[in-house]
Each structure stands twice: as structure tokens, then as C-alpha cells.
Amino acid sequence: MHPKLLKGNLLLFFLVVLAWPVEAQVPVPVDVSQTTDDSLLIRRLADTILTDGQAYGNLRLLTKTVGARLSGSAGYYKAEKWGQQALGAANADKVWLQECMVPHWIRGGKDSASWSTRGRRTGLDVLALGNSQGTGPTAIQAPVVLINNFDELEQQKDKLKGKIVFYNYPFNPLLVETFQAYGDAVRYRGAGASRAARYGAIGVLVRSMSSSVTNFPHTGALAYNDSFPKIPAFAVGLRDADRLAEQLKANPGATSAYMRSGARMLPDTPAHNIIGELKGTEFPNQYITVGGHLDSWDPAEGAQDDGAGCVQSIEVLRALKAIGYKPRHTIRVVLFANEENGGRGGRKYAEAAKDAGEKHLLGLESDNGGFTPRAFTISLPDEKLAAIQPWIQLLKPYGVYEFERGGGGSDVNPMARQLGATVGELRPDSQRYFEYHHARNDVLENVNKRELELGAVNMAALIYLVDKYGL
């Protein structure tokens, strides 16, 4: 669209253009020390983030000079250095490392898979699931059985010995919030291997956790049940999954699959949470934590998951400092280690805080992608949530229109359990998250700079309000 233009009629053009609801006033600079007006202070936070913001530039560095950073990989240790540097450049009063032991799973080269019917072989775009055992160099080949859900698995349990199970459970498209569709489907990725191994299956193919129109396979962690053999498990791209399912419906019993992967789990290895702090002026021993996780899956750049949350959290600190805000409480940015296949960083942070007897007002996470902001979940009871509803009017100009009762991200949830802290997370629009999640296309080019920045604006505003008014 465009303001309608009429050839040769400049006057009418201007009438139409000027009828556009332009409210292009550039805010007047405000002396922070002189104002108690929350909307003006939040406007100043927004202004520095939207004009001098470092979030996107930081994300470019992380994705393009560090790239993939799975726990235990060389990339993760490079990312630790990047995080320290970025927090320093954001003017943290103090930056330090908190050590924890993390799992060290390696992919061990390119995964490959195919299926064959009557001698005709068709390749599959696959990724071994995180934590999966590989096949070793000899690979596996076996008849493949289509299993649409766990009920079918139980019905077919006597026919699975020596077979490869193909779980083809799709995202439910009726669930508007895509994380609900993920929550519904992800058990096939997480538990499918062991449940099939229990009945003698020797390998598992899992429809990717996505509702994309593309064919990128989406990896992600599985969890083996130690009572059963640890069989290899691969994510399959959606278009390939559709074709394979069609084939298996048309010719059940006539199709075999081939799987090869060099994946294996090595001994645990040390890694670090990276922490930066703005010291509180009034309650230096009371803390507000904001963070994302520094590790990512190995096939891409971890731009949305969760480079976005890391750079947004750093940007919160940078913006508060840049406008000269002096927090009452100590504000900590934490870049958590090992969210993807262990959650060790989040648990370490909460345990250490508990050991130190720290009081934490809020643990806020951004780990749902740097998409356009819509809501925050906060783990407050209804009446306390109602009490902070007036803050929504301050956030709404920047996109957040709702506080929902709910948990935090998986890195800050241990703070609720260990410390009794309130936790929460940014809930940006969810429609695109599972386009990129754990897939090769989770790259900088699929992050929109302004959406990323607006998430940071809302996070900074919420941190400011909690610092000022408590929870």
C-alpha cells in the first residue's frame, strides 16, 4: 500500500499524505534525575535502544564470528569470551564467570538417512537428536514402521523388534500459540526413542517439531530411559516426513530405512555462566536477574534460540546505564550455560544464589525468540498480577499488552524452586519460532532488527518498574 498518489495532482497527493496519522514528534531529552514520570523514563530507554542500540550488532558478532555453540564445543568457549566482552562494552559494573559442569555431546560428522522401497532409494534430510547415540560407522538398515502416536505404538508393540520406528506426530495447527503445539508434540522427540527401544526397535525417525512449509530438520534433546537400549534417533524434515508417511501408508511393510550417525556423549566438561552486574544503590544485596542462554544447537547460528535473548538481556543493562539510571536493587544479566541439553547453568545459578543466601525479586528470561513482543508471563498469584496491570499502559506503546500468569524460561525456573523468586519470561509472537528452532535456518538473517529491539525495550521497562516498585 501507499498513500494514494494521483498523477499530475500534487495538491491532492499532499492532502492524502497529510491525512495519514503521522505522530512523528521526536521526544524531548529528559533529565532522568529530575523526572519521576515512568512513561518518560521508559521512552528514554526505548530511544537509546531504537537509535543507539547494540542488540543487533552484538547478535551479528555472536552469530557471524562465533556461530554455533553447543555445550562443550569450541564455539561455546568462544561465546563465553564474546559474552564477557559484550557485557563489558555495555558498561556493567562487574563481569564474572560462574563455573558448572555440562554434558558434552558431539554430532561426529554429517548424519545421513534414506528409505528404500523395491530397490528405489530416497534420501531424507535429517539431524540426529541431541544426546542421541550414533549408529557407528556400520550404520543401521531395517524395515520402517509408521507410528502416528503412542497409542499406535502400544498397539503395534509386538511388531517392532528389529525395526526402525517413524513417529509422524504433527503440530496441531488449531493451537494458535505454537508453544502449545510444541508442548503437545515434543514427547515424541524426548521419549520416543526409549519407548520404541522397549519393544525392540533399533532406531527412530521423528517428524520435526515444526509446522513450517520448509524441509529443514529440527534437532533438539532426547532423554534416554536407562532401562532400555540407547538407540539412535533422528529428526526428519517435514516434507520428507510427509513423503515417507505417504509411502508407508500406501505400501506398509515394503519399505526399509537406513540411518548413519557418528554422534556420541563424551564425559562432562566445565563451562560457565557469564554474569554482568549493575550494583544497586539502595538494596545492593537484593537482586533482579535478566537473561538468556548462551549455548545453542550445532547446525546453525542460534540467532533466535537464544542469541536474541542474550543480546536483549545485555541491552537492558546497557540502556539503563546509558540513560544514567541508578538502580535501587542490583541488576544482573546472566548468559546461562547449557540450556539445550542439560539445564546445568540455570540450576547452578539458582543453587549458588541459595548458598549465598541472596534475595531475588525477579528472574526474567527471554528464550522464545526475538520476535515482536506481545506479553510477559509472570509467576505471580492472580491478585498480585492484577496489582501490576496498570504497568501495561506503559508497555503497550512498545508492543506488550498483557501480563499472563505463568512460569519463567527454563533457566530461571530453578530460581523459583530454589529461592522462591518470582520468575517470568518475554512472550513474543510465536508464529515464526518453530520455523527456525534448532534448524539450519536459525541465522541472523531471520531476525528482524526492530522486533529484537522492541523486545529489549519491554524487558528494560519491566526491569525498571520492578526495580522501582517491587513485585
Q: If binding is defined by CB under 8 A, does position 3 make contact with a second copy? A: yes
Exactly one of 29, 119, 173, 381 binds a second copy (CB under 8 A); that residue is: 173
Span near a second copy by CB under 8 A; candidates 6-14, 67-75, 87-95, 462-470: 6-14
In terms of CB distance, is 56 or 258 closer to a second copy? 56
Q: Which residue has the cell 524441509?
A: 215
Residues 185, 180: Cα–Cα separation, whole Å: 9
Q: If binding is defined by CB under 8 A, does position 184 make contact with a second copy? A: yes
**Cell numbers standing for residue 165:** 520406528
Q: If binding is defined by CB under 8 A, does position 305 make contact with a second copy? A: yes
Q: If binding is defined by CB under 8 A, does position 269 make contact with a second copy? A: no
Q: If binding is defined by CB under 8 A, does position 14 make contact with a second copy? A: yes
- Residue 307: phi and psi, rounded to 5, are -50, -40
In terms of CB distance, is 93 or 402 closer to a second copy? 402
User: Shortest distance, CB of residue 380 to a second copy, whole angstroms?
Assistant: 15
SS3 397: helix
Site for a second copy in 402-441 (CB under 8 A): 402, 406-407, 409-410, 413, 429, 431-432, 435, 438
Q: If binding is defined by CB under 8 A, does position 194 make contact with a second copy? A: yes
In terms of CB distance, is 39 or 431 closer to a second copy? 431
Site for a second copy in 207-266 (CB under 8 A): 211, 213, 220-226, 265
End-to-end CA distance of the chain: 44
CB 347 within 8 A of CB 414: yes
Site for a second copy in 41-60 (CB under 8 A): 46-47, 50-51, 56
48 contacts: CB under 8 Å, gap ≥ 6: 318, 319, 322, 323
How does strand 283-293 pair with strand 329-336? parallel
Residues 445, 458: Cα–Cα separation, whole Å: 23
Q: Which residue has the cell 499532499?
A: 14
User: Shortest distance, CB of residue 237 to a second copy, whole angstroms?
Assistant: 16
DSSP 200: T
Residues 226, 458: Cα–Cα separation, whole Å: 43
Site for a second copy in 366-405 (CB under 8 A): 367-368, 372, 397-399, 401-402
Exactly one of 91, 172, 285, 393 binds a second copy (CB under 8 A); that residue is: 172
